[in-house]
Amino acid sequence: MTFLFVFLSIALLVVLIVWAKLNPFLSFLITAIAGGFLLGLPANEVASSIQKGMGALLGDLVIVIVTGAMLGKLVAESGAAQRIASFLMGIFGEKYITWAMALTGLVVGIPLFYNVGFVLLVPLAFTLSYQYRLPAVYVGLPLLAALSVTHGFLPPHPSPAALVGQFDANMGLTLLYGGIIAIPTIILAGPLLAPLLKGITAQPLPTFQADPKPEAELPGIGNSVLTALLPVVLLVATTILSMSVSATHPQRPFLDFLANPSVVMLVSVGFATYSLGLRRKQTMSQLMDIYTIATKDISMILLIVAGAGALKQVFTDSGVSLALAEGIQSWNMHPLLLAWLITAIIRIAVGSATVAGLTTAGIIAPLVPSLAVDPNLLVLSIGAGSLVFSHFNDGGFWMFKEYFNLSIKDTLRSWTLMETIVAVAGLVGVLLLDSLLKFL
């Protein structure tokens, strides 16, 4: 009966979001309450379980997600993203324009949330499409493949960051493994796929063409790249240092402090405030206005994360984890494949990558100790599954269709195909890396 009640809980979540069009945060809360009663949690413990789950998950993530939004917004507003795109085009030229777009999406997509990156960079892709007289889908798809991969795979984006917290994984290692898998995935779904779609005719609306900043107003390329990638550099560097320094070393506590993702993000925002702001004659008041807008942009994401934490805690407190563990152990399926499959089913039903990833985490998180699987790879497996087969119930599908002014058919055979390739290639990369790590 436990599996049936879990299935009914997830089905209720899907119905509330897809059919009733209810806000995902409210949907998570209602599902958590209903799931608690279905799974036999005492009535007087349901509310406290929900509050505990929300607080525990947000406590680890608020700083990372909020500072990540601030950094991404400043990279966009300062013109650093435009500088990076222009610089890469100068290196790659027209012949390798798809590779330039993919690399731009990867570099800029790490600090930028997906929607911000889409709105900022797609118009730049349209400008290049007009300039070189190339099909817009051919130019733009590699860029969006990279943005999608960073959104689904790499911290500090909300879903992977939340999964790291739920699975007690290491954010630096997750970022390192994610980078290893992300690069071939982007190449496959971007520069290699794009030439096959040259025949798709797109007529982007003039409204969405870029209004670039004058060259003189852009920050330098070194400043732009360093500021955008500083969180990655610090997370990977401190993770490698932590692996090489013994637990008894007198400097280990300070190193652990520096390696904390919240500290890394605070340092990165502080550096960006100076390098892209104060140093370039912006006032502190102007910068704080940018940061305020950034926090408004991700407020709903934080609430969705909190709602997912509530559902996860209900599953944990009701003893579902033990029943699921016993059932899953009898399934002849690799845990990483199982996590990907559960996420993919929820993604196709609900449409939201973030909701799909966090819902799966609520089911899987209590089982991680018994699954004998690397939690960092579990984060990436779920991240890959959360991107599969984007279709009519996904806002990203409609953004792509409307910006590129495509038919439904052409959107399915370009955007939906690209997202599915990303999901499958990501899973294959996770399984290969898992095998390699076990071999080593």
**The pLDDT of residue 328:** 58
Beta carbons within 10 angstroms of residue 183's beta carbon: 16
Question: What are the b/e assignments for 207-244, b being 16+ CB within 10 Å?
Answer: ebebeeeeeeebbeeebbbebbbbbbebbbebbeebee
Joined tokens for residue 187: 């190449």
**The pLDDT of residue 298:** 77
The SS3 assignment for 233 reads helix
Report d(CA 49, CA 44) in Å as an integer: 9
**The pLDDT of residue 346:** 84
CA distances in angstroms from 273 to 49, 201, 213, 299, listed in the order given: 39, 42, 20, 21
HSE on the CB side for 293, CA within 13 Å?
13
**pTM (2 d.p.):** 0.75
Joined tokens for residue 181: 């898998």
Cis? peptide before 155, omega within 30° of 0: no
With vertex at residue 144, the alpha carbon angle to CA 405 and CA 135, rounded to the nearest 5 degrees, is: 50
Closest CA to 1 of 250, 242, 270, 323: 323
With vertex at residue 419, the alpha carbon angle to CA 418 and CA 422, rounded to the nearest 5 degrees, is: 90
**The pLDDT of residue 340:** 94
For 380-407, give the DSSP string: HHHHHHTTS---TT-HHHHHHHHHHT--
| Low-confidence residues of the chain: pLDDT under 50 | none
**The pLDDT of residue 310:** 86
**The pLDDT of residue 106:** 92
Q: Do residues 227 and 271 touch, judged by C-beta distance below 8 A?
A: yes
For 4, counting Cβ atoms within 10 Å of its Cβ (0-12 exposed, 13-18 middle, 19+ buried), the class is exposed
Query: Rounded to an integer, what is the distance from CA 35 to the centroid of its chain?
Result: 27
Joined tokens for residue 396: 């990203």
**The pLDDT of residue 286:** 94
Q: Tokens 């100790």 map to which residue?
A: 369
Closest CA to 134 of 182, 420, 143: 143
User: What are the backbone angles phi and psi of residue 134, rounded to the nearest 5°?
Assistant: -115, 155
**The pLDDT of residue 99:** 96
Q: Do residues 245 and 252 touch, judged by C-beta distance below 8 A?
A: yes
For 293-334, give the DSSP string: HHHHHTHHHHHHHHHHHHHHHHHHHTTHHHHHHHHHHTS-S-
Report d(CA 84, CA 65) in Å as an integer: 23
**The pLDDT of residue 372:** 82
